[in-house]
Structure 1
Amino acid sequence: MTSQPSRRGEPEDPDPLPIAVVDNHTHLDISREGEPAGVGDLGPALRAAAAVGVDRVVQIGCDPAGNEFAVAAAEEYGSVLAGVALHPNEVPGLVAAGRFDAAMDRVSELAVHPRVRVVGETGLDFFRTPPEGHAAQEESFRRHVDLAKRTGRVLQIHDRDSHDDVLRVLADEGAPERTVMHCFSGDLEMARECVRRGYHLSFSGTVTFKSAKGLRDALAVTPPELLLVETDAPYLTPHPWRGASNSPRLVPLTVRAMAAVLGLAVPTLCQALSENSERLYGPW
């Protein structure tokens, strides 16, 4: 099938995948251009993704408004499941404003919704948050780990410039049986440690970047049964559209790049990605 240019000068649609896969982590409420999307606006993006073989997505909340959006989207669309959490970069501000406990209580309420299958994204971010906010992030992370275990939800982890500390907290608390390193950004040795612990590694468009040899090395040692793929849309758009706004319909570019690194046929990898997602999250 020949790729067709999409409207308004956006990236072209990639060739469809032979077996449908899941976008394990996306933010369809966030826009890099124009107004944020409403729940009722998601239909075109979901249909465009399904047309190229991305027929299910996990919509991730990061703050109180985003969590409500994720649940509403999962209620509205059968192809959407939700994740709820307080992103580590949001936590210090919520603590300073005296709003963290109430926000966390609401996350706990939403986490038991039948369309919510993920607690996350939670974790640590030492890139955007200065050292004085790290203690608040860690306490929040520990509470999210506990919530995931109490509710039987998948834990999705945000880890930026904090690899050792993320692994330390997970060892301290005891990671849930189903733990996902969202947008994996570690090196070869971290990948091996995560695999040893049985964590799933989710790779985004960054694995397609020419400068990302370390990520490709990490991917190469990850068994197919622990792999996931994601957009983290609207960010981290895969090559050759890096810098444009990302969306689930571009997942096939990342899948094909992953298959090349792993030396797997694309249908074989697609089957593994789909089965891994269903095993983690259950049926959509």
Structure 2
Amino acid sequence: MRVSSKRSVEREAPPTPEPLTPLFDAHTHLDACGAHDATSVRAVMDRAAAAGVQAAVTVADDLASAHWVTRAADADERVYAAVALHPTRAGTLTETARAEIEALAAHPRVVAIGETGLDLYWPGRLEGCADPHTQRDAFAWHIDLAKRTGKPLMIHNRDADTEVLDVLRAEGAPETVIFHCFSSGPEMAHTCVDAGWILSLSGTVSFKNARDLREAAPRIPREQLLVETDAPFLTPHPYRGAPNEPYCLPYTVRALAELLGVSATELAQVTSSNARRVYRLS
């Protein structure tokens, strides 16, 4: 999750890792990584390509970002987009905003509705953050939009396992559900896996103190697994706190491969294939 479009860190960017390919960054924020036009979008993706990352989904969190991500997807064939209003911004989901999001969702390079969901961490901590009831209503609307468009639903879930599941059950989950930056424990992973949902892991899986997540990760079937950066945040170990970018994805994949006891090359191939299947690109 991001709370502003500015980098919250000042540390030096990580070095380019040894290339690992093919990789697909299932969730990133290119605008928050500093991209602002077609040239800078291509520059970010060129850096990613040098590390083996062949494609990325850049994700909106407000209305301006939703317009921007569709332009970014048009600017570079390696970029796809997802559109929605972030749960913390659910209070801005006016009728006008709904109409604009719905129109953008029809864009051929928009491959998911997201990120939407529930965030129970920020209310009371972040000024202007939508309250849980407003978030729930917005989440339900995005669920319906995913169903109507036939596109995957991309969920942001922070401190809200029970509540997110309650909404999905009450509204009826779309055909494809992606839990972006899955950070919960084994019980939640088991519930999601049994439902056939997709779990996308970020750099947090490399954090040694993320015990519940690291216990949950081996329980995710390979065919239900994606990898992402959520850049510019959640930079993997040993560069935690430095600015993240899609080119850093190999660090996460190698850490996950070590945790799972599998080849990083195999994991790269599986997750890339999964992303293209889930986003209906092949």
TM-score (norm 2): 0.91
Q: Which position in structure 2 is the counterpart of 1:113?
A: 107
Q: Which position in structure 2 is the counterpart of 1:217?
A: 215
How many angstroms apart in 2 are the aligned matches of 1:48 and 1:248? 8
- Contact 1:39/1:69 (8 A) holds in 2: no
- Contact 1:62/1:121 (8 A) holds in 2: yes
Q: Which position in structure 1 is the counterpart of 2:16?
A: 13
How many angstroms apart in 1 are the aligned matches of 2:38 and 2:135? 29
Q: Which runs of 5+ in 2 are unaligned?
A: 1-10
> Once the 2 structures are TM-superposed, how far is the Cα of residue 262 of structure 1 from its aligned partner?
1.4
Q: Please, which of 183, 186, 198 is the counterpart of residue 185 of structure 1?
A: 183
How many angstroms apart in 1 are the aligned matches of 2:178 and 2:281? 18
Q: Per the alignment, in what secondary structure is the counterpart of residue 131 of structure 2?
A: helix
How many angstroms apart in 2 are the aligned matches of 1:139 and 1:203? 26
Deviations 1:186-205 (A, max 9, x none): 11100010000011000010
> Once the 2 structures are TM-superposed, how far is the Cα of residue 89 of structure 1 from its aligned partner?
0.5
Q: Per the alignment, in what secondary structure is the counterpart of residue 138 of structure 2?
A: helix
Off by >4 Å, runs of 4+ in structure 1: none
- Contact 1:25/1:230 (8 A) holds in 2: yes
Q: Please, which of 25, 28, 35 is the counterpart of residue 27 of structure 2?
A: 25
Q: Which position in structure 2 is the counterpart of 1:78?
A: 77
Query: Superposed, which structure 2 residues align to 1:1-284 within 5 Å?
Result: 9-17=12-20, 19-31=21-33, 37-92=36-91, 94=92, 100-130=94-124, 133-283=131-281
How many angstroms apart in 1 are the aligned matches of 2:116 and 2:272? 24
TM-score (norm 1): 0.91
- Contact 1:71/1:82 (8 A) holds in 2: yes
Residues paired across the two proteins, number: 268
Q: Which position in structure 2 is the counterpart of 1:4?
A: none
Identity over the aligned pairs, expressed in percent? Answer: 45
Q: Per the alignment, in what secondary structure is the counterpart of residue 29 of structure 1?
A: coil
How many angstroms apart in 2 are the aligned matches of 1:150 and 1:9? 43
Residue identity opposite 1:27 in structure 2: H
Moved more, 264-273 or 183-192: 264-273
How many angstroms apart in 2 are the aligned matches of 1:73 and 1:139? 29
> Once the 2 structures are TM-superposed, how far is the Cα of residue 173 of structure 1 from its aligned partner?
1.3
Q: Which runs of 5+ in 1 are unaligned?
A: 1-7
- Contact 2:12/2:243 (8 A) holds in 1: no
- Contact 2:69/2:82 (8 A) holds in 1: yes
Residue identity opposite 2:95 in structure 1: D
How many angstroms apart in 1 are the aligned matches of 2:13 and 2:241? 11
Deviations 1:6-59 (A, max 9, x none): xx9421111111x3111000001014xxx7633431122100111111110001
Deviations 1:242-278 (A, max 9, x none): 1111000000010011111111111221111011111
Q: CA RMSD in A?
A: 1.6
Deviations 1:40-80 (A, max 9, x none): 31122100111111110001011111001100001111000
Residue identity opposite 1:240 in structure 2: P
